[in-house]
Amino acid sequence: MAKQKTVITCAVTGAIHTPTMSDALPYTYDDIATQAIAAAEAGASILHLHARDNETGRPSVDPEDFRPFLGRIKQASDAVVNISTGGSLTLSIQDRLKPAATFSAEMCSMNMGSMNFSFHPLAKRFDEWKFDWEKDYVEGSDGNIFRNTFRDIREAAETLAPHDMKFEHECYDVGHLYNLKFCMDSGLFKAPVFIQFVMGILGGIGADIENLVFMKKTADKLFGDSYRWSVLAAGAAQIPMASAASSMGGNVRVGLEDSLFISRGTLAESNAQQVAKVRRVVEELGADVASPDEAREILGLKGGDRVNF
């Protein structure tokens, strides 16, 4: 019997954590490219990418802040590039779609519902900040709603349809699975869909085994054999929940966007360190790590020769 092939996604840098919180978190074009390439070499077949302003470290959805590192990653790696359509809790869906539409990546993320998405408790952990925008940005997240209405989701699906792009459907709670089913029944997304169970974000479902089993059982009921799935968990839950997902036959996502730690209380040195750790877990549990081309086959991707970077 052939071994299970597990797809590892690495979320290299996000719009949530700030450079103050870990010196390992990349924010310059050079650091994002360098860490993304190293993560691919460590075993990540998919690279989930946000961008930041090269000087201030502020989260950005400007395509010109993606361009410098996308080209380098493409030259140095065969990894699948997955561009975020999140990137901001305050900007419109039209702005958030620009990077994915500009570069026609093989994949992009899509949050499957509006939600409270807050990380304001992190502000209490720091007395000093690297950039002057950081403290207000983190503290102010308690007043934001991360908007992803049905109209927004439809606009994303219709805008990106010509690009033959596979969505990473980020489901932060069980209701998001029902939203996805409604959208599939409406013809917006074709099976098999790729679902990322997102766990442990303040405002979403908690990161524990019972919730993972519940999400998986619900997805089985709604989608049958018409989906592929993965798990990401925030903070200290990252590796334990990835281990659980792998043991259940799922795929996994790690990266400094989701957790700054390599173990409880110890900051990770890089994205590649997290990828290498979860790769060891996956292989010890009896699966093989999928190569980029194997990930393309598993998820039904268009191929790296059809991107615009």
| Domain containing residue 125: CATH number | 3.20.20.70
pLDDT in tens, 104-162: 999 999 999 999 999 999 999 889 999 999 999 999 999 999 999 999 999 999 999 99
- pTM, full prediction: 0.96
Q: What average pLDDT does range 275-287 have in this prediction?
A: 98
CB 199 within 8 A of CB 176: no
Per-residue pLDDT at 22 exceeds 70: yes
**Domain housing 132:** 5-306
Handedness of CA 279, 287, 111, 165 (dihedral sign): positive
pLDDT in tens, 210-230: 999 999 999 999 999 999 999
pLDDT in tens, 289-305: 999 999 999 999 999 99
What CA–CA distance (Å, rounded) separates 233 from 240? Answer: 9
- The pLDDT score that the predictor gives to residue 17 is 86
For the chain, list the strands marked E by DSSP.
5-6, 8-11, 46-49, 51-52, 59-60, 80-83, 107-111, 115-116, 145-146, 166-171, 193-199, 227-233, 251-254, 261-263, 266-267, 288-289
Give which of 174, 172, 122 is closest to 145, Cα–Cα: 172
Where is pLDDT greater, at 184 or 16? 184
* Numbers of helices and strands, H then E, in the chain: 10, 16
Contacts of residue 62, defined as CB under 8 A and 6 or more positions apart, other chains included, come to: 51, 98, 99
- The pLDDT score that the predictor gives to residue 1 is 66
- The pLDDT score that the predictor gives to residue 3 is 84
- The pLDDT score that the predictor gives to residue 239 is 97
Mean pLDDT, all residues of the chain: 96
Overall domain count for the chain: 1
What CA–CA distance (Å, rounded) separates 269 from 215? Answer: 31
- The pLDDT score that the predictor gives to residue 2 is 73
pLDDT in tens, 42-101: 999 999 999 999 999 999 999 999 999 999 999 999 999 999 999 887 889 999 999 999
What are the DSSP calls for 225-289, one per residue?
Answer: TSEEEEEEE-GGGHHHHHHHHHHTT-EEEESTTT-SEEETTEE-S-HHHHHHHHHHHHHHTTPEE
Q: What average pLDDT does range 256-265 have in this prediction?
A: 95
Span between the terminal Cα atoms of the chain, in Å: 39
